Amino acid sequence: MSLGKSWSRRATDLPIEIFCIICQEVRGKADLLRLALVCQDWSSFALNELWRDMDDLKPLLKLVPHEVLVEQRGESKESTLAMDEGSSLNWTRLDQYRARILNLEYDLSIDKQRSAEYSAISDVGLGLVLAALITPSIRRLRLDLNPDYSYYHIDYIEETTDQDLGKTLATLPVTAPHLECLFLGTFLPQLSLDFLGRLRSLQHLDLSAILMGETGVMKADVFKCISSLTQLKRFDVVAWLETPDEVAGSWSAFPVLEELSVGDSYLLTIAEIVGRISSDRMRVFELFDPHNQVHKDGNEDDITDVEELNAVCRALIPFSSTLTKVDLDIEDFKDRGSPGGARILAAIRPLLELHQLEDIVLCPAFSSRKTQPPFIVKDEDTEPMALAWPRLKNLTLALNILRPGITFQTLVTFSARCPCLCHLDFSYLNALDLPLLSAIPETGHKLEALGITDLEIQNLQSFVIRLDRLFPHLKTEEMDTPHYQSLPQDVLQALGSVAGERRRAAWEDEMLDLLLRQDIFA
């Protein structure tokens, strides 16, 4: 056999896809750096992955010419990061790496802990720094300039005075034409959001942490502007403080929207917003911290009427064939037809027409459940829920439920009507009167977690025996953790003991049956 011919191969003989897959599977920046130092063939692919996601501007600042960072902004002379051909500064190193960045993130609260980097950025100005870093390769940009997450308290938020930041954001349609995800968290009262309508590739727009002043961030004219974003799949927004009439119209928006999250806004306005969405792909709707409606006389209700929440739920009916998750922050509501407490179905009855729902959360997001006005929830209310949502996987009903509330019969109903249910969470259950053990079907239901914050029982052993018969697959070990205790400790211990005895008895019966079969056929 002749060995005269060299059979050595270069790494470039491998398909490009193999390079990319290997680099994507490497865990840790240190290993990617080692891979980049192997040879020139590996270097480009490893560096692309190493610089792909940047949540720290420190490595990039090291590539900026030193002369730029040491020159502080003055009243008569401003630093510039313009990379024009006539400049004597060397931008080659920055050019080599900034084009590799796909996801860029800047968090002011974290950066302030890195005093050196924060000082360098504040001296030059974040707007100018970002202008030098953003390239057409950027796909995701996250700017969180709200210290300590004080999003909703304008009095405590320092106004962003960096005028260059507004200019940089306004040029994003040109400098980052392929941008797919944009998160803005800052307080820029003078910033115009018109540029958002020109980000044609945008798929996720998050304005849930941007404040524009006491009148709110989003306005109808801005909404109409971004309605041209035909690729938008998720939209998060807060502080929509306009009347429904200002939003109403025959125009439509977001033909492919899949997820909508709205907070700190008027309910009737939210209903009008949802009515403008033309998408046939809506899967997720989230509502948190609904705002009290301001009436024509200028007065604001102390408590929101359930009819307004009902209007929001009605607006979701056109998405009945695709909507799978609804998360409603139910804070303080009044029910004019029920002075003793708000009726749950009076608020959410339209949701019973959404038969594809799999995940439903009805609970206060900010206030304590015990400080809420009471809600009337009975077995007669939960039965139509179970009938309407056969695909249900997760249900959270964490309200201040007025006594006598729901009973063990509600658990029986959900076990019979919702075979896919995996997680069930109630704030209160009245288990003082239990049904006969023979009346509880052995369905073998696959429920894994049951949460009951306030449980009233008379006979602990009778309760856990019936509960184990109804839901034999509850994972009691996972239901008792330092972060989450789904049931009282004594109930969890008794339930685990009963379940253990049932499994041992089932195993013994199986072994006995096996021995009998072997003896018969011996």
- C-alpha to C-alpha distance for 108 and 126, rounded to whole angstroms: 10
Report the pLDDT value the prediction gives residue 522, as an integer from 0 to 100.
57
Average pLDDT value for the chain: 80
Q: Are residue 38 and residue 101 in the same domain, yes or no?
A: no
Structure tokens at 120: 């360098």
Chain centroid to CA 233: how far? 13
Closest to 210 (Cα-Cα) out of 227, 229, 196: 196
Considering the domain architecture, whether residues 67 and 127 belong to the same structural domain is answered as yes
3-state secondary structure of 509: helix
Q: Does a structural domain hold residue 247?
A: no
**Residue 270 lies inside a defined structural domain of this protein:** no
pLDDT at position 214, please? 53
**Does residue 97 share a domain with residue 42?**
no
Name the DSSP letter for residue 233: -
Q: Which domain holds residue 22?
A: 12-50
pLDDT at res. 149: 45
Cβ distance 351 to 384 under 8 Å? no
Instruction: Write out pLDDT tens, residues 391-437.
Output: 999 999 988 888 889 999 999 999 999 999 999 999 999 999 999 98
Distance in angstroms (rounded) separating the CA atoms of residues 493 and 38 = 57
CA 330 – CA 362 distance, rounded (Å): 6
What is the secondary structure of 84-113 as a DSSP string?
Answer: -TT--S--HHHHHHHTT-SEEEEEHHHHTT
Show Cβ contacts of residue 80 under 8 Å, excluding neighbours closer than 6 positions: 68, 128
- In this prediction, residues 189-211 reach a mean pLDDT of 84
Q: Is residue 25 part of a domain?
A: yes
> In the chain, pLDDT over 70 holds for what percent of residues?
77
pLDDT at residue number 61: 75
CB-count burial class (<10 Å; 0-12, 13-18, 19+) for 132: buried
Reply yes or no on whether the pLDDT at 186 is more than 80. no
Over 70: is that where the pLDDT of 31 sits? yes
Which of 191, 207, 224 is the last residue in one of the domains?
Answer: 191
User: Under 8 Å CB-to-CB from 316, ≥6 apart: which residues?
Assistant: 274, 285, 323, 326, 350, 351, 354
Query: Whose structure tokens read 């009951």?
Result: 452
- Please tell me the least confidently modeled range out of 31-40, 89-98, 129-138, 201-210: 89-98
Flag whether 79 is in a domain. no
178 with 113, same domain: the answer is: yes
Q: Given pLDDT bands bounded at 50, 70 and 90, which one contains residue 1?
A: very low
Residue 95 has pLDDT above 50, yes or no: yes
Please name the amino acid found at residue 305. D
Alpha carbons 417 and 441: distance in angstroms, whole number: 12
In terms of domains, do 58 and 158 share one? Answer: yes
Asked, for residue 213, whether it belongs to a domain, the answer is no
Cα 359 from Cα 327, distance rounded (Å): 8
- The confidence score (pLDDT) of residue 387 equals 96
Give the tokens for residue 306: 């359930």
Q: What percent of the chain has pLDDT over 90?
A: 33
**pLDDT (tens digit, 9 = 90+) per residue, 373-390?**
788 999 999 999 999 999
**124 and 153 fall within a common domain:** yes
Could you read off the pLDDT of 475-488 as tens digits, one per residue? Answer: 888 887 765 668 88
User: Is residue 195 predicted with pLDDT exceeding 60?
Assistant: yes
**Mean pLDDT lowest for which of 33-37, 197-201, 212-216?**
212-216
Q: Which of 191, 220, 253 is the last residue of a domain?
A: 191
Asked if residue 185 and residue 59 are part of one domain, the reply reads yes
- pLDDT greater than 70 at residue 498: yes
Residues 159-165 have a mean pLDDT of: 61
**Residue 440 in tokens:** 């509880």
| In a shared domain, residues 68 and 184 | yes
Report how many domains make up the chain.
2
**CA 423/CA 395 separation, integer angstroms:** 6
Q: Exposed e or buried b for every residue in 193-213, given b needs 16+ CB within 10 A?
A: bebbbbbeebbbbbbbbbbbe
Q: Check pLDDT > 80 for residue 308.
A: yes
Pull the structure tokens for residue 330: 């139910």
The per-residue pLDDT for 2 is 47
Instruction: Map 425-491 to HEC letters.
Output: EEEEEEECCCCCHHHCCCCCCCCCEEEEEEEEECCHHHHHHHHHHHCCCCCHHHHECCCCECCCHHH
pLDDT at position 286 over 60: yes
Query: Are 30 and 145 in the same domain?
Result: no
Report the pLDDT value the prediction gives residue 355, as an integer from 0 to 100. 96
Residue 65 lies in a domain: yes
Mean pLDDT of the region 502-521: 80
Dihedrals phi, psi of 401, to nearest 5 degrees: -80, 125
Residues 413, 383: Cα–Cα separation, whole Å: 6
Instruction: Say whether both 173 and 66 belong to one domain.
Output: yes
Within-domain flag for 61? yes
The conformation of residue 292, written as its DSSP 8-state character, comes to P
- Residue 91 or residue 208, greater confidence: 208
Burial of 5 per CB tally in 10 Å (0-12, 13-18, 19+)? exposed
Q: Supply the pLDDT for residue 190.
A: 67
Last residue of a domain, one of 140, 159, 191: 191
- Residue 132 and residue 167 in one domain: yes
User: Angle CA(68)–CA(70)–CA(72) in degrees, nearest 5?
Assistant: 90
Let me know how long the chain is.
522
**Residue 183 placed within a domain:** yes
CB 430 within 8 A of CB 407: yes
Q: pTM value?
A: 0.84
63 and 26 share a domain? no
What is the predicted pLDDT for the residue at 83? 46
CA–CA distance, 427 with 401 (Å, rounded to integer):
7
d(CA 127, CA 163): 7
- What is the CB neighbour count within 10 angstroms for residue 18? 12
The residue assigned the tokens 């056109």 is: 318
Q: What is the DSSP string of 349-371?
A: GGGGG-TT--EEEEE-SSS-GGG
